[in-house]
Amino acid sequence: MHLGTFSVSLAVKDIETSKLFYEKLGFKIFMGDQSQNWLIMKNGETNIGLFQGMFENNILTFNPGWDNNAQPLKKFTDVRELQSELKKTDITMSNETDINSKGPASFMIIDPDGNTILIDQHV
């Protein structure tokens, strides 16, 4: 099972302070809109998202259909198929997508330690 490109979505208190901190670690703004309180930053193949006021805790994020540069892949496992596969393993969904929909969609699961995992397809 390939879940897609991985990143960590961080719930930050002050997006400017966090941006400056991660720039010191070599991250560069890749996409986003700081005036809307979100940025995606990149260092090599590593992506992190900075999100101020959008969610309470950090989230592990997987993006089926994208490569590490947010470019669409020709071949990938659709988010609805991933959801169906995981449901067969008795993993509880905290948020589901409509299996009859097409295109962008997402679902969320919670790991045994309470960490949120977002499977978020943009294509």
Which positions ≥6 away from 91 have C-beta within 8 Å? 109
How many residues would you count in the chain?
123
List all residues 6 or more positions away from 31 whose beta carbon is below 8 Å from its beta carbon: 39, 40, 70
Could you give the number of structural domains in the chain?
A: 1
Query: In whole angstroms, what is the distance from residue 67 CA to residue 5 CA?
Result: 6
In tens, the pLDDT along 67-120 reads 999 999 999 999 999 999 999 998 989 999 999 999 999 999 999 989 999 999
The model scores a pTM over 0.75: yes
Residue the block writes with tokens 């991250």: 27
Cβ-contact 42, 50 below 8 angstroms = no
Distance between CA atoms of residues 120 and 17, nearest Å: 26
Phi/psi for 47 (5° steps) reads: -115, 140
Query: What is the domain extent for residue 106?
Result: 5-121
In the structure, how many helices (H) and strands (E) does the chain have?
Answer: 2, 8
Q: Domain holding 48: CATH number?
A: 3.10.180.10
Q: Residue 8 — pLDDT band, cuts 50, 70, 90? A: very high
